[in-house]
Amino acid sequence: MTTIGESLQRVDILDKVQGKTVFGADLSFPGILYARALRSNFPHAKILHVDVERAKRISGVVTVVTGQEVAQYGLFGMTIKDQPILAVDKVRYIGDPIAAVAAIDEEAAEEALSLIRVEYKELPSIFDPVESMKPHSPLIHENMMDYEHTPVAIPLAGTNICSHFRLLAGDVEEGFSSSDEVFEDTFTTQAQSNCCMEPRMSIAMIDSSGRLMVWSSTQSVYAVLRGLSELFKIPQNKIRVVAPPLGGGFGTKLYLKAEPVAVVLSQRSGGRPVKFQWTREEEFTVPTMRHPSIIHLRTGVKRDGTLIAREVKIIWDTGAYAETGPLVCRNGSFSSPGPYKIPHVKVDGYCVYTNKIVSGAMRGFGLNQPMFAIESQMDIIAERLGIDPMEIRLKNAVEEGSISGSNQKITHTALKRCILEAARVSNWSDRQSLKAGQSSIARGKGIAIMHKGTITPSCSSALARVNGDGTLTLLCSTSEMGQGAHTVLSQIGAETLGVPFDSVNVISSDTDITPYDRSTTSSRSTFHMGNAVRLASLDAKNDLLQIASEYFEASLDELVVEKGIVYPKDRPSDGLSIEQLIKKHFGGAGTILGKGTFLTHGGNLDPNTALGDVFSVFWMYACVIAEVEVDMETGTVKVLEVISANDVGKAINPINCEQQIEGGVLMGLGYALLEELLFEKGKVLNDNFTDYKIPTLTEAPRVIPLLIEKPHPDGPFGAKGIAEETVVAIAPAIANAVYHATGVRVKTLPITPEKVLRGLKEEGLAR
């Protein structure tokens, strides 16, 4: 019996397709109040006075709270504690919350907001991160050096730079001097919204015992628990955080978001439940978005295409508050040399405050931006040297035992297999035969590769409860947000214990019930929580075998558990069901409880060179080949086909992996061609799905997912993460395909028809 490697149906599929799944947005409680926040319409201004008296008199309004009233709680933030619950002395972006209302219905709350009057004194605003870095620029956080921050943040005093990351490996100037050719290019990437179908939501209430109860659409109940405990000075055992199934996450539903406002309103409403759910407009205009970036590359190579040196400077626009910015800066900058063997590397990453909405975690977590730049420049290098783009990648790609450009020893990689398999399936050798026909349509193919690490160190714990009837209940804090995690965890638990897949269920994300997990992020759940589930199920199995050994008078290694039946290897016909054994042992009824904790080590980088430790316990790799059509008269790009070969370690559930690839391709296509938050003096102009375009099925290309398996010895049954690697290489593959088709190199995302047409005209190629 095995469930590993089987494309089993998702455990939650029926509830979802039948509309029975209860998301956070669906929750309600007796006596619930509805919260709304008054947000700043200035990007940078002092708050002189807030008048809420008229708002308080609206029928149905229970409480109105201002920043001054909650200032005593201090500041919060994931990497730097720089953010108040409500703005106290000044606002730093259009959308910064100033006051909050709780009322018996949303209409009363909205009416109250309209009656709040705020007096401001405008301050100089800064929206360009390059300008923000300059000496004497207006400081967005005058007291930045006084803020509490984690070691990952390295702020520079007297500036708007909240973190400066450095990587030094080898001698980059020596590398350039010994290179035959040096290439220098600058690329820019845009702000992208996460576009979750379910808006962020939090409900807070205080129960009869005085405990704080919070329901949140969060990707980490324990991050919320810890954040609320620190902010409000409440012991963790006096707080309960529950996460219902999420309608999408992609990183934006991490750490404290709506929860602090819901909590203060509940505290001031006699403990009544308060629901703070963001509007669709707030989803576009309130934290967080993907970091816009500016990437400057300088790469030295030999004439045969061997990479010798690479210097990278990345400016990350983190917006008004740091949030995850310094961590994105560290992870993205560290990995920015790409999945290549490069002996001499220098990287400078700058995370910079601006008066715009806050940037934060989004699928790919800092890799989408530099990989667009790196992989675009790899094609520029290949063309100048007369080398096939696939061959130059094969020549330089990391392989088993090699040292990466980030000075990491590489193990357990199938990257070169990904490249070769994608090239084979795509008929890469025939790409030069693609010609424009008699029409104005040109066709091209492009290739890109990628790598990405995972959070290291981190910890995941799980409990495995063998019930009296022989079924298995897994308790863990992995949030289910559409990625199929609970299905994969059920497969791992079933396989480890030796019970049928359909006898397993998962209870998740309740800090009163489920043990600690860092977060459902960083493509870590299958690897980290999968290992914790395996260890917990193995612990329960060992207890079960102890019981069985007494009954069968056999040693543990002589016993087998299969399909819920325990039997001696030499006497399979004498087997008993788990239910029968439990009844015999416990005198009628009982349970067996197993526990498992999986802890990884590493990630402690030298602050001056980023050398000296394991950055990631595993690395994700992929190769993407895209085929496009470009209308030479309009510049319109249509993606025809995407082949994505992914190093998955071991596919626990192959169809689930393929669906991750398909979803990642579509998200990457949006990043490449369509999606961009547009700003005018800090104000988001396209805060709705009419003006902010995301790909639909009509834009979806043919997707060919390829699962390349090389089992990782530390993963559960050899598995690694896959979710984020599926999106990172899409944009550069499309950009390279557009160049192959047209001769136009677009260095600024997204690749719009206007940019392509402008390039065609500049090259004299427009038709």
Q: pLDDT for 141-164, tens place per residue? A: 999 999 999 999 999 999 999 999
Residue 751 lies in a domain: yes
Domain tally, the chain: 3
- pLDDT, average across residues 236-252: 95
User: Which of 571, 599, 627 is the C-terminal boundary of a domain?
Assistant: 599
Residue 103 within a domain:
yes
> Can you give the pLDDT at residue 435?
59
415-430 pLDDT, tens digit per residue, is 999 999 999 999 999 9
Question: 358 with 378, same domain?
Answer: yes
Residues 263 and 330 in one domain: no
Do 498 and 370 share a domain, yes or no?
no
Q: Are residues 451 and 471 in the same domain?
A: no
Q: Is the pLDDT of residue 388 over 90?
A: yes
Is residue 1 over pLDDT 70? Answer: no
User: Where residue 434 falls among pLDDT bands split at 50, 70, 90?
Assistant: confident
Same-domain check for residues 449 and 462: no
Q: pLDDT-derived band of residue 588, with 50, 70 and 90 as boundaries?
A: confident
State whether 426 and 540 are in the same domain: no
Q: Is residue 614 part of a domain?
A: yes
Domain annotation covers residue 433: yes
pLDDT digits (tens, 9 = 90+) for 446-502: 999 999 999 999 999 999 999 999 999 999 999 999 999 999 999 999 999 999 999
Residue 173 lies in a domain: no
Shared domain check, 509 and 575 = yes
Angle at CA 298, nearest 5°, toward 295 and 304? 130
Final residue of a domain: which of 227, 262, 281?
281
Mean pLDDT over 356-380 rounds to 97
List the domain range (segments joined by +) for residue 536.
458-599
Residue 258: both structure tokens together:
């709506």
Please report whether residue 11 resides in a domain: no
What percent of the chain has a predicted confidence (pLDDT) above 90? 93
Residue 78 pLDDT: 95
For the stretch 26-71, pLDDT in tens is 999 999 999 999 999 999 999 999 999 999 999 999 999 999 999 9
Listed residue (632, 620, 576, 640) closest to 708, CA to CA:
620
**Which H helix or E strand runs over 240?**
strand 239-242
pLDDT score of 230: 97
Asked which of 577, 599, 621 is the last residue of a domain, the reply is 599
Contact 245/481 with Cβ under 8 angstroms?
yes
Overall average pLDDT of the 89-96 stretch: 98
What is the reported pLDDT for 231? 97
In terms of domains, do 423 and 487 share one? no
- Please report which confidence band the pLDDT of residue 209 belongs to, taking 50, 70 and 90 as the band edges: very high
Domain-embedded: residue 368: yes
Dist CA 742 CA 758 (whole Å): 12
Residues 619 and 749 in one domain: yes
Q: Are residues 463 and 450 in the same domain?
A: no
Residue 215 — pLDDT band, cuts 50, 70, 90? very high
The domain that contains 367 carries what CATH number?
A: 3.30.365.10
Q: Rounded CA gap, 333 and 405, in Å? A: 12
| Domain assignment of residue 116, yes or no | yes
Q: Clarify whether residues 52 and 119 are in a common domain.
A: yes
Mean pLDDT computed over every residue of the chain: 96
pLDDT exceeds cutoff 80 at 767: no
Q: Per residue in 712-761, pLDDT tens?
A: 999 999 999 999 999 999 999 999 999 999 999 999 999 999 999 999 99
As given in the structure block, the two tokens for residue 659 are 């669906």
Q: What is the dihedral of CA 461, 465, 471, 472, to 10 degrees?
A: 0
Q: In this model, does residue 438 exceed pLDDT 70?
A: no
- 518 and 629 in a single domain? The answer is no
Q: Residue 2: its pLDDT value, please?
A: 83
Query: What's phi and psi for 113, nearest 5 deg?
Result: -60, -40
pLDDT tens digits along 630-684 = 999 999 999 999 999 999 999 999 999 999 999 999 999 999 999 999 999 999 9
Q: 346 CB contacts (<8 Å, ≥6 apart)?
A: 167, 168, 169, 172, 310, 311, 312
How many CA within 13 A on the CB side of residue 604?
Answer: 3
